[in-house]
């Protein structure tokens, strides 16, 4: 396999991995944008803990969704690369260049 073919095989993988990393980091938030007053009652602390758990779950779901989207983009690029290789091989074989 020539160097040109190796580069064409590696570039889609590198781009997909870059997308995977970039998309996942876009969905991670830095926390709540506004602060609420904290009281000493048990109800408020329980509510705060529940809200924090929900926020963490939402953040994890966003990261999971970003990862799934990036994985799908990677799968699509690999399928396109395989299709390109198949077409190239078909042309090569049809021209009797083997």
- The DSSP-derived string for 11-80 is HHHHHHHHHHHHHHHHT---S-SS-----S-HHHHHHHHHHHHHHHHHHHHHHHHHHHHHHHHHHHHHHH
Looking at residue 38, its pLDDT comes to 47
Tokens representing 50 are: 């529940």
Total-model pTM: 0.46
DSSP annotation of 2 reads: -
Residue 10 lies in a domain: yes
> By residue range, what is the domain housing residue 10?
1-19+59-98
**Number of domains present in the structure of the chain:** 1
Looking at residue 96, its pLDDT comes to 77
Residue 37 lies in a domain: no
Measure the CA angle with vertex 33, ends 31 and 35; round to 5°. Answer: 95
Mind listing the pLDDT tens digit of every residue in the chain (98 residues)? Answer: 455 555 566 666 666 666 665 555 555 545 555 555 544 565 677 788 889 999 999 999 999 999 999 999 999 999 999 999 999 999 888 887 65
Residue 73 lies in a domain: yes
Residue 84 lies in a domain: yes
């Amino acid at each position: 396999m020539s160097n040109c073919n190796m580069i064409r095989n590696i570039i889609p993988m590198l781009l997909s991995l870059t997308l995977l990393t970039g998309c996942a980091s876009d969905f991670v938030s830095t926390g709540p944008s506004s602060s609420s007053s904290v009281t000493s009652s048990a109800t408020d602390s329980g509510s705060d803990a529940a809200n924090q758990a929900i926020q963490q779950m939402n953040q994890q779901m966003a990261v999971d969704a970003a990862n799934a989207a990036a994985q799908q983009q990677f799968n699509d690029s690999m399928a396109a690369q395989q299709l390109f290789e198949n077409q190239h091989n078909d042309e090569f074989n049809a021209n009797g260049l083997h």
